[in-house]
Chain A
Amino acid sequence: MKYVDEYRDGGLAREIAAKICAEATPERAYHFMEFCGGHTHAIFRYGIPDLLPDNVKMIHGPGCPVCVLPIPRLDAAIELAVTHGVTLCSYGDMLRVPGSRKRSLLKAKAEGADVRMVYSCMDALRIAQENPEKEVVFFAIGFETTTPPTALVINQAKKLGLKNFTVYCNHVLTPAAISNILESPEVRELGVLPLDGFVGPAHVSTVIGSQPYHYFAEEYQKPVVIAGFEPLDVLQAILMLVRQINEGRAEVENEFSRAVTYMGNSRAKQVVADTFELRRSFEWRGLGVVPYSALKIKDSLSEFDAEKRFIVNYRSTRENKSCECGAILRGVKSPRDCTLFGDPCTPENPLGSCMVSSEGACAAYYSYGRYQERTFATDQSHPAA
């Protein structure tokens, strides 16, 4: 496959892995967080941990949109479909996430609610156009990557004069989440979470550019290397991070220069700025309430805002006490630290959000990395062991 296989070359991987092994100082450990679920997925899918020396550890961050959506907002989406009888459209993974009382959008569908899986928000718009008698709600989730398309369909709906299309907006912002992690007591004070640097997001950065990460590099003295989602990208980024640490640097470097520029995609940023405004605060699963970390639809486009058209109730819910999704999303714990992992929490029967999406740390670990269980018991160097 042209333009893809080049980034999955086993020979090159061995070369980079050899460099990482040679350059990583045996006396110290390196703890890098990959923020994005896409990276988490790539790391496990291609078996990258097998290629790293024991003292280079990856910590899985919160960049999985499905994982960080708090249950009350999922419950509200289910309520939109069930109580308000709307045609609720969302991305595949979102449909399987268990809300409170183990309800999910898929279960609501089985009980008769009109829930549709879409690959693109344009599909939701099309459904609204083709079914003028139905109220169609697009359940929008995701980071800066999926936000511009949502903005575009809202503007398209306005252009078309659609009266039966709204968006339930749950878009969140990457830099705010990174700040939250860096400000967390586990990182700043307690030292529970050793964190030496970040593998920066791939697709998110194509939109926002590399510019927003300079603050973290400077203010918190943590190197950031923006990397593509292919396995060679990830390995190369890890090597670049090791080098920065060894040289005492804390800079933003761009491994993904084939797609990411300093300023990002100005048209995408503009349409987002024209359509959305910052929420004062937003609850994240795992991170709690994070100020200025999410977007809502501007008042001038409120006719397309499902939260304005429908009465959406938010009821606080209690998560399973043993579920460690919160700590896992903050990188404080690893999937294997959760007593529910594997039994009873599995991808077929997910109790927590990290087990649902293939980008969730638990699901990636369960689906791809479980063979490492044999060695897990003796792995004392794990950050959360």
Chain B
Amino acid sequence: MTEQSRTDSTDGNKRHYSHTLDLSKGKVEMVHGSGGKAMAQLIDELFLNAFSNPWLDEMNDQACFQLPAGRVVMATDSHVISPLFFPGGDIGCLSVHGTVNDVAMSGAVPKYLSAGFILEEGYPLADLQAIVTSMAVAAEEAGVYIVTGDTKVVERGKGDGCFITTTGIGVVPEGVSMGADRVTAGDKIIVSGSLGDHGVAIMSLRENLTFETTIESDTQSLNDLVAAMVEVVPDIHCLRDPTRGGLSATLNEIAQQSKVGMQVYETEIPVKPQVKAACEFLGLDPLFVANEGKLVAFCPAAKAEQLLAVMRAHPKGMDAAIIGDVIEDDLQFVQMQTAFGGNRMVDWINGEQLPRIC
């Protein structure tokens, strides 16, 4: 497109263009980020069409909304995953799930998102549309609205198709107070399902690593699972989604922030056989591999079985398992009893296991 494009007329906030955007063969051009009519058309015909809601439709430079009473939570996440489409998802739904989950891990109910796009000149509009549609579906499923956004275009070779940054806002229900510093010795550690699916799904597509697997990314929003958990056990001490760095990074972060140690049991940690096998031949540890649709919960031991039952009754927590205990430890070590019988540290990941995983 679209030097020829022009605004012919307006109908309220709705603008009309002489040519419609060529969503089947068109490409992202520099003008789509220049602030002119081409950009307006891209926004109208692609983003507004997909995300339409009362706040976005006002087409202001900002969204203005009311929030229910309570503490407000805000989180932001940039997504640069490669490849943009992968088994089980794409950068679009991932960018919604990632931020929804970051907000939800405070126990909050996510409400609104913003979305910033950095597009590379030449990127197919058809692919962009698929990504945007996927975002819209993910937002609807999660019950959140994308209420404001931004689009920039960079020259060919200066980006990698499409980068997306989303920011989310939510409100914490009364009586819920989670934090990474609230975990105490005696708490139980619960994971909501099998670990490593997302990382292995992405790895299977990397150009120098191609291998066939039936594993799909676990990317999904967890706010409904969190809501169910919080309703029954409001006193969950902490929730965290083990994304980059996997379970090991999450456990080590919390151990440091709460100044405790952790003891987990390898036999209790759910890992799918295909993920185990892929990690085996790639020389990876499933505990280091990224997840995009799982959470780790720390809760008082007395409530653990009750919480586990709630999680297992939810479709997104069917494979939940209690994997260990929070213990007192000045050195803040995370240890694991191996299935083999010995003990070992579960340390932070070293170096880059796989770049651009989310």
Which residues of A pack against B, CB within 8 Å? 1, 4, 8-10, 13-14, 17, 44-51, 92, 96, 118-119, 123, 231-232, 347-348, 358, 363, 366-371, 373-374
Provide the residues of chain B in CB contact with A368, threshold 8 Å. 344-345, 347
Q: Write out, one digit per residue, whether chain B residues 314-353 have a CB within 8 A of any chain A CB (1) or not (0).
A: 0000000000000000010101011111111101101100
- A315 to B280 alpha-carbon distance, docked (Å): 39
Provide the residues of chain A in CB contact with B12, threshold 8 Å. none
Contact yes or no, B345 A369, CB < 8 A: yes
Contact yes or no, B276 A1, CB < 8 A: yes
Provide the residues of chain A in CB contact with B333, threshold 8 Å. 370-371
- A371 to B335 alpha-carbon distance, docked (Å): 7
Query: B residues 48-91 with Cβ under 8 Å of A?
Result: none
Contact yes or no, A4 B280, CB < 8 A: yes
* Residue from B273, B340, B351 in contact with A13 in the complex, judged by beta carbons closer than 8 Å: B340
Contact yes or no, B341 A348, CB < 8 A: no
Which residues of B pack against A, CB within 8 Å? 208-209, 267, 273, 276-277, 280, 283, 331, 333, 335, 337-345, 347-348, 350-351
Contact yes or no, A119 B280, CB < 8 A: no
Contact yes or no, A119 B276, CB < 8 A: no
Which single residue of chain B is at the shortest CB-CB distance from A122?
A: B208
* Residue from A4, A118, A231 in contact with B340 in the complex, judged by beta carbons closer than 8 Å: A231
Q: How far is the CB of A74 from chain B (nearest CB, A)?
A: 16
- A363 to B348 alpha-carbon distance, docked (Å): 12
Contact yes or no, B209 A119, CB < 8 A: yes
Provide the residues of chain B in CB contact with A14, threshold 8 Å. 341
- Can you name 26 A-B residue pairings with CB atoms under 8 Å? A8-B340, A10-B339, A46-B342, A47-B337, A47-B341, A48-B340, A49-B342, A51-B341, A51-B342, A96-B351, A118-B208, A119-B209, A123-B208, A231-B340, A347-B350, A348-B350, A358-B283, A358-B350, A363-B350, A366-B347, A367-B347, A368-B345, A368-B347, A371-B343, A371-B344, A371-B345
Q: Which of B208, B277, B331 has the most CB of A within 10 A?
A: B208
Kindly list 5 other residue pairs between chains A and B, CB separation below 8 angstroms, not including A347-B347, A369-B344. Answer: A10-B339, A358-B350, A366-B347, A367-B345, A370-B347
Which single residue of chain A is at the shortest CB-CB distance from B347?
A: A367
Which single residue of chain A is at the shortest CB-CB distance from B263?
A: A371
Contact yes or no, B342 A48, CB < 8 A: yes
Which single residue of chain A is at the shortest CB-CB distance from B329?
A: A371
* Residue from A4, A10, A44, A366 in contact with B341 in the complex, judged by beta carbons closer than 8 Å: A10
Provide the residues of chain B in CB contact with A8, threshold 8 Å. 339-340
Provide the residues of chain B in CB contact with A47, threshold 8 Å. 337-338, 340-344
